[in-house]
Amino acid sequence: MASSYGRRVHRSPTVGHVATRTTSFHGTHSGLPVAKLPTIRVLFTITLSHGWTVQQLDVTNAFLHGQLTDTVYMIQARGFVDDTHQNYVCRLQKSIYGLRQAPRQWYTTFTQYLLTLGFEYSKADPSLLTLRHNQTHIFLLVYVDDILVTGNNDDAISKILTKIHSKFNMKNLGIAHHFLGIKIQTLSDKYFLSQSSYAQSILKSVHLDDCNPLSNPSCTKIPDQVPEDAILSAPSTYRRIIGSLQYLTLTRPDIAYAVNVLSQHMHEPSLQHVYLLKRLLRYLKGTLSFGLPIFKAPLILSTYSDADWAGDPTTRKSTIGHCTFLGDTLISWVVKKQTTVARSSTESEYRALAAATADTIWLKRLLNDFVVPHIQ
């Protein structure tokens, strides 16, 4: 999709009228708000605590619903070229797949309709919309064309879904069981989020699906002689696997630190980094059933932070980490190397504490949107 010079012709409901002026425009591009992963974990934790059900919706041809506000031209589609005006171009009135503006316009079109139904944007996460009327609370979470809906009034939710279905072409997938590649198992007293199939596909892509497993994702001492791996030694493969492992950390906080360390050498991985990556993959082989449990417990927010002062022997930078629990459920965690050198262990600890505090303040705002009184 690109801007084109020439005239415009009326080709379909998505294009406009004939123009006589030759012009070229470039549409602006804005990032699409998508639900933050901690928001998803908080939503499931709260629904479990209250005994609510979480329904999942899937939008059919989501990007075709968006109305364009920018002036965008496209060449006539192959097979639909006007023989009498082959040099004309089309002006789009509605978004289509492949257009840079399509995701944003879909989000705007959908959420603006929800606002007419009484929903409001969350102050903490714009992809979370809430409806509060008397004692009725409904929460709707948007991740592009995947939607989660929950609340304390099933009849009100059904009426809302009926109105949404009348406006957009959607499929009701029932109780949420698979969201963003994450398998959601509903047990008697908890949820279990896992990505075992995804982890298995990572191993299979580098022919390690039959490797011997290890019990630790990393090691403290690397052998003096590290053998070269024919597959993982390729820089492109190393970067691809690290990117896949970063997505796997959505439900695997146990590998977050190891992935963080390996991610710092993606531009030029050495044999030592390849060795550590292979160890991590062998650890995954033995822990494919691992995941993130969500427990039913009092919704008390608690945060822990720590720092490894001057942990990097080369740069002398510290690595910080913090994690937050809602009840007994781990909902947020971060592992990050500090951008500057801390002059003391106290300074590095204070920086870690400041980062953890900022994350906790955001989570408190999110809990306010979920109408959850919290004690920290």
Q: Angle at Cα 213 formed by Cα 210 and Cα 219, nearest 5°?
A: 135
Q: DSSP letter string over 78-146? A: TT---TT-TTEEEEBSB--TT-TTHHHHHHHHHHHHHHHTT-EE-SS-TTEEEEEETTEEEEEEEETTE
Task: Report the C-alpha gap between 222 and 76 in whole angstroms.
Answer: 59
Q: Could you tell me which residues are beta bridge partners of residue 131?
A: 138
Tens digit of pLDDT at every position of the chain (376 positions): 333 333 344 433 333 333 323 333 333 334 567 788 999 999 999 999 999 999 999 998 877 877 788 888 888 888 888 888 888 998 888 888 878 888 888 898 999 999 999 999 999 999 999 999 989 999 999 998 899 999 999 999 999 999 999 999 889 999 999 999 999 999 888 999 999 999 999 999 999 999 999 999 988 788 888 888 889 999 999 999 999 999 999 999 999 999 999 999 998 899 999 999 999 999 999 999 999 999 999 999 999 999 999 988 889 999 999 999 999 999 999 999 999 999 999 999 999 999 999 999 999 999 999 998 765 5
Task: Report the C-alpha gap between 319 and 336 in whole angstroms.
Answer: 6
Task: Report the C-alpha gap between 375 and 166 in whole angstroms.
Answer: 41
The matching CATH number, chosen from 3.30.70, 1.10.150, 3.30.530, 2.60.120, for 7-186 is: 3.30.70
Res 38: pLDDT: 95
Is residue 91 within 8 A of residue 21, CB to CB? The reply is no
Short-list 232, 171, 227, CA closest to 206: 232
| Strand arrangement of the beta sheet that strand 329-337 belongs to | 301-308, 319-326, 329-337
- Domain spans in the chain, listed from the N-terminal domain onward: 7-186, 208-286, 298-369
Res 31: pLDDT: 57
First-to-last alpha carbon distance for the chain, in angstroms, is: 50
Task: Report the C-alpha gap between 42 and 261 in whole angstroms.
Answer: 27
